[in-house]
Structure 1
């Protein structure tokens, strides 16, 4: 059941699995996606290993507070501002989103938590571990990156698929599904069957919860101004795991390697056949890694 809680002057939607007395694992979602991308079976599998598992909608997604009153972002103007060394005027940054994460556990009366983030959520988790070291028990960064400008960029066709305008699902549901599934298929790995029906149902559920086409642009802007996180990652001193897919076209494996290299003592788990998604066949492998990291001696 989704619950709303006031954090940093906004509402965050969350739900919880497992025993409230167990150590908490916070699951942080990726760019423009909702907490339901951390599927119920995945959450239950983690909770069954002896943890309280909390997933939540980042600001500007799902049932959390949206920032749709801001003008649609112009990517070219954003790029020019960044290139000129100026700071663009954007609604929020990844630091704000990391503050939300800690605000959530504050509001729930939780002293310390394990943080697990995927993609943009991995970036947020990295910042949380750096900025709030006394609150974090372990860090797992999945299919993410450091912001190192020397890393290979996302392939242009993936960027084009991600940023092209989608049909309005209220007017053309079939077109919207086709658009969303084409992107999901492009970033998926080659090692596991692509479950189109599963994607249809999760995309439909996201649309029913909230449809806000501008939020992806606002979150891309937050990522764009985040810069190179390697100096912050060098200060992270909790047990850390970096999980990455060999087939990831969004952030190539070098991005995961760079993340693991930047964090002292981090374990690097490179998974064959995994792209920029988390197929059900890998749930157990990923859960094992998260739990192993959470139980590593500090």
Structure 2
């Protein structure tokens, strides 16, 4: 299903090497912080960020009438590149965006100049099943990826048992609480700045509830992630993980082990988000990694 309009924007000179930022599941492109994007553009990169379908300013759909899969979400990566006239780009993916980047690097290597994955899991590693088993109290089979931190599990178990919030204030409160958990425990949490960003996300969404379609898309295509293909990645790869990652702890090391020549960078204090304290370190690493 491709008849979906996607919101995107770009920064920097059109003649600079392009970086395409791919945010995670159910997440708007503006979760790539403005300062983070600005540092990349100031470093001589043409930076593009976009809202996935069913998030932010991109189109939302009636999933029952127009179902799609995560392969369609992956194909949106190519569509954004095509819309901006970019034949190949440096891909930088966060969380599930990192999974999309890994798959594109396997599937269409000629369109990828380099790959950076941040707070992500290895393609085909079964990260979704690990989280589901953790939330439902099921044992993890031997050889599974490390499971989320207890505070992450506790938060989402409580959330699943509670009635859904109603109204802007209650919804934003819930979004801030979620960000607090995702932020981790390694750095101070700026609640005021987080609230301003979550209010922005709430206010720019065409339909905030439409993000749930990403879960339906994942269930519609359980074989989205091919297994045992990361050794096919031949583009230069940087893997970034926070020392206090609460969702996918240790998953970055697995990615780096499976992709030939990949480099693992552990950022002290960082959790699953991109707070201001890590912008300089992470963007400097990306700029060095994407130097041409």
Counterpart among 255, 262, 284 of residue 258 in structure 2: 262
**Residues 16 and 46, structure 2, Cα contact 8 Å, conserved in 1:** yes
Structure-2-length-normalised TM-score: 0.84
Q: Is the 8 A contact 1:93 1:226 kept in 2?
A: no
State whether structure 2 residue 176 is matched by structure 1 residue 189.
no
| Counterpart position of 1:79 | none
Contact 1:242–1:268 at 8 Å: present in 2 too?
yes
Question: What is the alpha-carbon root mean square deviation over aligned residues?
Answer: 2.3
Matched, 1:148 2:141: no
Q: What is the aligned counterpart of 2:113 among 137, 146, 149?
A: 137
8 Å CA contact 2:240–2:267 kept in 1: the answer is: yes
Aligned to 2:92, what secondary structure does the other structure show?
strand
CA distance in 2, matches of 1:220, 1:246: 28
The corresponding residue for 2:203 is 208
TM-score w.r.t. structure 1 length? 0.83
1:72-83 pair list within 5 angstroms = none
In the alignment, the residues of structure 2 paired with residue 91 and residue 8 of structure 1 have an alpha-carbon distance, to the nearest angstrom, of: 11
Deviation at 1:231, TM superposition (A): 2.2
SS in 2 for 1:12: coil
For the residues of structure 2 that align with 1:165 and 1:92, how far apart are their CA atoms?
28
Structure 2 unpaired stretches of 5+:
127-143
Q: Compute the displacement of 1:158 (Å).
A: 4.3
What do residues 243-292 of structure 1 show as CA deviations (whole Å, max 9, x unaligned)? 01121111112x11111111111000112211111111101111112112
1:134-283 equivalences in 2 (<5 Å) = 134-146=110-122, 147-149=124-126, 150-155=144-149, 156-160=153-157, 166-168=164-166, 171=167, 173-210=168-205, 212-223=207-218, 225-226=222-223, 228-253=225-250, 255-283=251-279
* Structure 1 SS opposite 2:7: strand
Tell me how far 1:166 sits from its aligned partner.
4.0
2:92 matched residue in structure 1: 116
Q: Which moved more, 1:20-29 or 1:218-227?
A: 218-227
After TM superposition, list the pairs within 5 Å mapping 1:25-174 onto structure 2: 25-67=19-61, 69-71=62-64, 91-146=67-122, 147-149=124-126, 150-155=144-149, 156-160=153-157, 166-168=164-166, 171=167, 173-174=168-169
Deviation at 1:207, TM superposition (A): 1.1
Answer yes or no: is the 8 Å Cα contact 1:90–1:222 preserved in 2.
no
The CA deviation at 1:197 is 1.0
1:261 to 1:211, Cα distance in 2 relative to 1, 3 A: same
CA shift at 1:230, angstroms? 4.8
Q: 1-side partners of 2:276 and 2:159: how far apart?
A: 23
* Cα deviation code 1:134-181 (max 9, x no counterpart): 01100000001024141123353244366566423xx3x332222111
In the alignment, is the contact (CA less than 8 A) between 2:241 and 2:252 conserved in 1? yes
SS at match of 1:11: coil
